[in-house]
Amino acid sequence: MKKIAAPLLALLVIALTPSCKKIFENRIPKVDAGDNITTTLPEDSVWLSGSATDKDGVIESYQWLKISGPAAAIQNPDSAGTWVKNLKEGTYLFKLIATDDKGYFGSDTVAVTVLPAATETITFQPANNEWEVHLFGNTTGINETDKVATEIGAATGTTGGEVVNIRALLKFNLASIPADAKIVSAKLTLYSHPDPLNGTDEYPNSGSNNAFLIQRVSEAWDFNTITYLNQPASTDVDQVEIPHTSEHFLDVVDVDVKKLIEAMIAEGNNGFLLKLKTEEIYNYRMFVSSKNADASKHPKLEVVYE
């Protein structure tokens, strides 16, 4: 057997070995959508600050998408950074997509949490409210209006053979609520009088048609000179109707008076008027007034605002 010299052997090995060519693969862009964000209403806009790099090329385009969450407005979806506006309470997920010059893309997401606005709750339940009046009378001259009565209500009955109406003026001092406040809720509670001065068979609720109205008083009035005859005008706009009840004792709890309170703050606070929906004998709804000894049953207004 003939020996093959080493150099020749090396040549044969090289000749028989397949040639190797290094293949370079495009690298996808690296994308950063930024840190997660938390905001609190009424702040309803956030800035999304994204970025992207491409080691073997350049970034050609950006695109922001909303993946989940309530409705929102992305101001500049084709930019690395953008404002997102009109956010609502909830959690959002936004995605940033970056595409390079070879058509490859990468993406990243960022979460935005929108918290509800901070609210304030204020409860009005004064004793001896000077803006609370028990109106009693008729248009023919009877006036037994009482500014210190232990009851207020909405009723129609008779006295001395004449038909008379009972109504109530009830005003709370809303000055502690900022003029620019947004009212979230407003609830009025009236407690059924356990031992009314007016009524049938000593019950605060009686009659076959004792539904009553809570209206907004639309003009100013003077506590010192108020009578049944010169009582202020009221409006039926957004009035609240409390339905008839056959129960002799029934509190009226957490009545929604939000729209009435909003109007009082915007247009001037002259209080509420209580009166029967249909003033006909003999129907009664009598409640504890702020002059009553039981402070826990005074008329109560709870307002939540932001």
Closest to 184 (Cα-Cα) out of 241, 134, 258, 124: 258
Cα three-residue angle 182-183-186, rounded to 5 degrees: 175
Cβ pair 217, 135 in contact under 8 A: no
| Sign of CA pseudo-dihedral 169, 175, 178, 180 | positive
Structural domains of the chain in order of their starting residue, each with its CATH number? 29-115 (2.60.40.10), 121-305 (2.60.120)
The model's pLDDT over 134-145, given as tens digits with 9 standing for 90+, comes to: 999 999 999 999
Rounded to the nearest integer, the mean pLDDT of the chain is: 92
The model's pLDDT over 147-191, given as tens digits with 9 standing for 90+, comes to: 999 999 999 999 999 999 999 999 999 999 999 999 999 999 999
Helix, strand, coil content of the chain in percent (nearest 5): 10, 45, 50
Average pLDDT over residues 266-277: 97
Structure tokens at 57: 């090329």
Cβ pair 181, 280 in contact under 8 A: no
Half-sphere exposure of 213 (CA within 13 A, CB side): 16
Percent of the chain with pLDDT over 70: 92
Query: Please, which pLDDT band fits residue 24 given cuts at 50, 70 and 90?
Result: low
Percent of the chain with pLDDT over 90: 88
Query: Please, which pLDDT band fits residue 282 given cuts at 50, 70 and 90?
Result: very high
Query: Please, which pLDDT band fits residue 201 given cuts at 50, 70 and 90?
Result: confident
Q: Give the range among 13-27, 89-103, 160-174, 262-276 with minimum mean pLDDT.
A: 13-27
pLDDT given at position 11:
40
pLDDT at residue 3 above 60? Answer: no
Closest to 167 (Cα-Cα) out of 215, 125, 220, 221: 215
Please state, as a whole number, how many other Cβ atoms lie within 10 Å of the Cβ of residue 106. 19
pTM of the model: 0.73
